[in-house]
Amino acid sequence: MRHDNSKTPRFAGLTLPSAVRTALVPVSLVALGLIVAWADAPLPPALGTWLDSERQHARLAVVRVAFPAPEQPLTPGDGSAAGHTLAAWVRTNDVAQAEGRSAGTGIVVDASTSTPGNEDAPGLSRAAPDVDTSLALPHVHGRRVDHLSRAHLLREWDDLSGALTECRRAVHDAPEDTAAVSMVAELAGLTGRMDLAVRAYGQLGRLLPLDARPLVRQARLLVSMGRHPEAVAAGEEAVLRNPEYVEAYQVLGRAHLAQGELSAAMLRFQQAVHLNPEHGFALNNLGFTYLRAGENQKAAEALTQAAALLPHVAYVHNNLGVAFERLGQEDDARAAYAAAMHLSPRYVQARVNADRMRRMAQVDVGGAQTPRGQSRSTQGEGVTSP
């Protein structure tokens, strides 16, 4: 008679029945299959939200861990301080690699495609040439976020500061995204951060090397900030990019005029009027430059055209009144000042000019009058157009 000499294996004092051992085989295969397919398995929304929250907490819990000294043993289980340090670093590194960061540094990496020694590997993030990194707002997150869509939403809610923050985060994620950079420039101007707006328009000009408009907008801001040499440089570059763009000559003329360079300002305003004879603001600025240069007849001619093209702009009529007053055409000057005050009752300069003419008329009644057509000294001042 044969005897079964097989012995039931013991595991830590526990004897497993044969039925349990038989059932463990398919269960193990199912568990292995679930583990392999876990990354591609669709998750319920509630579970996905919970996982994102856990990843965020894990990221915040990561701390800088010191590496053990080279001469110390690197065995995690030997009870030494070096072993505990290595074990802690391994746990930290696992969490960091799960979020795409280098342990202890916070540097974002792409562990799936980065190749050591190959700087042109597809997964490596490289800074674009000539990119102003000061526009970006560095940040990290466990999953990809559409910051630009958030910015549009916040802007609709009139939260301009929050929208600007989201735009700068979008620029950090995609430094060459012209839509994000353009929105940074616009929102920075609206929130009074002019330096940031100037840098953003400069970046946009580098990203769009054939477009003159970002440089013209940058030059306008620079003129408003009193940085006239920089405005001239930006305007000259805009003219080189598009010699037919009227606004490039307009902003160049304003920059030269602000520096007292009357001949250069006249030339640029004349070029703008040549390209667009019905550009009322360019005509106003040309007339104002003539006033500054003492060419009052030319000023009156240019400003008469500007007033016809811009009948509802008060300062154009005020400038025309100054030109007429300097030519001795007092009735025309009074009419121009009156039109300016009618369009803008709080326009102080026009009211000052009209009051001065009224006082001078009273003096002329009591004493010698200035012959008609003869220029007289006046304190009237014109205003340039944007």
Could you give all domains of the chain from N- to C-terminal order, each with its CATH number?
A: 278-386 (1.25.40.10)
Q: What is the pLDDT averaged over residues 54-82?
A: 45
Please state the three-class secondary structure of the chain as a single string: CCCCCCCCCEECCEECCHHHHHHHHHHHHHHHHHHHHHHHCCCCHHHHHHHHHHHHHHHHHCCCCCCCCCCCCCCCCCCCHHHHHHHHHHHHHHHHHHCCECCCCCCECCCCCCCCCCCCCCCCCCCCCCCCHHHCCCCCCCCCCCHHHHHHHHHHCCCHHHHHHHHHHHHHHCCCCHHHHHHHHHHHHHCCCHHHHHHHHHHHHHHCCCCCHHHHHHHHHHHHCCCHHHHHHHHHHHHHHCCCCHHHHHHHHHHHHHCCCHHHHHHHHHHHHHHCCCCHHHHHHHHHHHHHHCCHHHHHHHHHHHHHHCCCCHHHHHHHHHHHHHCCCHHHHHHHHHHHHHHCCCCHHHHHHHHHHHHHHHHHHHCCCCCCCCCCCCCCCCCCCC
Question: Model pTM?
Answer: 0.64
Span of 109-113, 172-176, 253-257, 261-265 with lowest mean pLDDT: 109-113
Whether residue 126 has pLDDT greater than 90: no
Lowest mean pLDDT among 41-55, 273-287, 326-340: 41-55
pLDDT tens track for 5-21: 555 555 555 676 777 77
Question: In the beta sheet, which residues pair with residue 15?
Answer: 10
Each residue's pLDDT tens digit, 20-39: 777 777 777 766 665 545 54
Taking 70 as the threshold, does the pLDDT of residue 355 lie above it? yes
Cα(189)–Cα(186) distance, rounded to whole angstroms? 5
Please indicate whether residue 144 or residue 121 has the higher confidence score (pLDDT): 144
Phi, psi of 126 (to 5 degrees): -120, 145
